[in-house]
Each structure stands twice: as C-alpha cells, then as structure tokens.
Amino acid sequence: MANQTRSEVLLVGCGGVGALCAYNLEVGTQANVTAVLRSNYDAVDKNGFSISSIEHGEVTGWRPSKITRTISGNGKPFDFIVVTTKNIPDQPPAIAEVISPAVTHGHTIIVLLQNGINIERPLFKAFPDNIVLSGVSMISATETEPGKVRQDDPDILIISPFHNPRISMERESAAAQSFVDLYSASGKASCKLEPDVGTIRWRKLIYNACYNSICAILDMDTTTIRYAKHPVNDLVRPAMWEIWHIAKATGHPLPADIVEEMVDIDTWSFFKPSMAQDTSKGNFTEYENIVGEPLREAQRVNVPAPTLTVIYGILKALQWKVRAQNGLIKVPLERPQSLSLLEDS
C-alpha cells in the first residue's frame, strides 16, 4: 500500500554524493530508488553500501531498492531522475543521451546535482517537455573504497527550477517543491527550495570557477594557497571579481562581500576541490561548465575576463592532455603535412 504512493527515482552516479542521496531518499520511505552503479556495482551487489554519516550514523549492508549497471525504462515510469555524475560536455556520451532510455517525455522530472551553469540547456533541447531542476549540494561525501562512503558535513541541498520557456513556472515550482518534500522526508537532510537558480549557481561559481580551477592548475589545496597569499592576490581574487562582474551583467547581482567570504570560506583543512582531485588522478575536469560557460557569458555581455580567459586556456590544454594520456589522441612522431598553426582545428 505504502509502496503504491512512493515515487520512482532513478539515481545516476552513485559515488559518495549519489549514495547518500539514495540512502536519504529511501530512509524517507517515499521513494523507490533504482541506482545506476558502475565501478562499485560488484562491491555493492555483494555487500551493499557501508555508510558512515554524521546524520545517518553507521549503516552497513544497505542496498537501494534496485541496482543496475545499465539505464533502461522502468515498469512504472520514473518520476525523478537524479544525476550526480560529473558533467563533462566535451567528453561523450552526453548526459541527455545517457539518461534518454529512462526518460518518460512530459513526465519524468530531471534533477541535476552538478556544478556549473547552463547545464540545463542540453536537457531542455533533448527533453523539451520535461521539467529540469537544479540541485546545489553542500554535502562533503567521499567514497573511500567501492561501496564505502563517508559523510563529514551536513547534507544541505538547495533545489531550484531551471526555467524552460515551454513550461509554466508554476508547474516547475511545484515540481521543485515535490522533490524538496521527497528529500526532506527522512527528517535528516536539510533540503530547501530557492526560486532564483541563477543567483545560487553564480554564487557557487565565485568559488568553483576560481579556487577549484586554480587549485587544479597549481595542484594545491585552498589552505596552502591562502597561506602563500600571493596566489590569492594574483589569481583567485581577480578571477572571483571577474565572475562577480559577469554575474552582475547577466542579471545575477551578488553582494560585494561575497568575494572575501569565498576567499576564506574553507576551514584550515587543506581541502583540495573537485577539479584539483580530478587533475591529480588524471581524470577529466568539469572545466567547460565551471569556467567555459561563465566565460562565454562574459563574451556575450562584453565583460572583460582576462584571468578566466587564461585559466580556461590552461584547463582546456590539460583536458586535451588527459585525452592524449588515455589514448584518445595520438601525437604523430613526424610533423603532419596538413598542420597549419594559423588556423584553428
């Protein structure tokens, strides 16, 4: 009986954040979660998840309602698809393509718990009649080994509707509220509705486009950068003000003290933001949505962004290197006859 009213949720990307999200949703008993697992499928299939959480305590041998390796339709259509994977549009397959088999047009609500801006655009294009929600998660959850997850900070999730001109704002807001209710049902996580998605996401970019990217380039943590000081003065702060000015010019004014707040927001914990973790592991970074999109907005509204321009060029080159290191590009041992350095490829 209870089961009949439960929402069907597909959770794509079941690392630290995804596993906590799945667990929190099922603890609320209003959702059946189908979790798409990749690298940790065998571990979770055998032993379930082990979760050590400041909110949920010690959990062992927990399994979502259903686990799967591949994405397909459901007996009942999915009410929500929650995507917590990294968002790397320059590296196929696209997220829209990945989730496509599970989307019921006009019904499934897509929730993007991902960094950056303009991430809704490819989803609007692929699924013009589906509501897309923004999730900005403050959780610090890490998968320490396959299936083992540790959560050190409270689970704070901010949900906002991305506005699709084909869909009414009322329906979008109602959908956002329904996901907030679903996520809050556990009584553990703090999930809030914030109508102004732009301000939320630009605010987070002040940190992400600057500290996250600069830590990746320097292979340094934010504590060390703050102690060294000159990287804050030479790089972080100028980049943050550029984001602040782009945000303002695109209609998302932020308070002036946000820059100093973000400069010093991390505790003295030698924290390496996600892109820095990615580069030191030889992984692709989310540089396109975190730096590329703000920079394209800057060009659109004619706001100078010299620091971010160079940071973007460097991150793009580092991404190219990862492709080459993974054998996706092979540099020929002899100079190709066709190589002209005066035209772009």
What residues line the site for a second copy (CB under 8 A)?
217-220, 223-235, 260, 263-264, 268, 270, 306-307, 309-314, 316-318, 320-321, 324, 329, 331-336, 339, 341-342, 344-345
Query: Cβ 68 to a second copy, closest distance in Å?
Result: 38
Which pair of tokens denotes residue 337?
């006859």
**Minimum CB distance to a second copy smaller for 127 or for 312:** 312
Query: Cβ 334 to a second copy, closest distance in Å?
Result: 6
3-state class (DSSP) for residue 233: helix
- What is the helix (H) or strand (E) element at residue 142, kind and residue range? strand 141-145
User: Using CA atoms, how far apart are residues 285 and 272, in angstroms rounded to an integer?
Assistant: 13
Among 288, 309, 344, 274, which Cα is nearest to 91's? 288
Query: Cβ 239 to a second copy, closest distance in Å?
Result: 9
Report whether 94 contacts 33 (CB < 8 A).
no
**Minimum CB distance to a second copy smaller for 156 or for 328:** 328
**Minimum CB distance to a second copy smaller for 301 or for 324:** 324
Which pair of tokens denotes residue 23?
């667990």
**Minimum CB distance to a second copy smaller for 143 or for 297:** 297
- What is the helix (H) or strand (E) element at residue 97, kind and residue range? helix 95-99
Query: Cβ 276 to a second copy, closest distance in Å?
Result: 13
User: Using CA atoms, how far apart are residues 266 and 262, in angstroms rounded to an integer?
Assistant: 8
**Minimum CB distance to a second copy smaller for 129 or for 261:** 261
Query: Cβ 265 to a second copy, closest distance in Å?
Result: 11
Angle between helices 293-301 and 306-325 (to 10 degrees): 150
Query: Cβ 319 to a second copy, closest distance in Å?
Result: 10
**Minimum CB distance to a second copy smaller for 42 or for 234:** 234
User: Using CA atoms, how far apart are residues 92 and 323, in angstroms rounded to an integer?
Assistant: 12
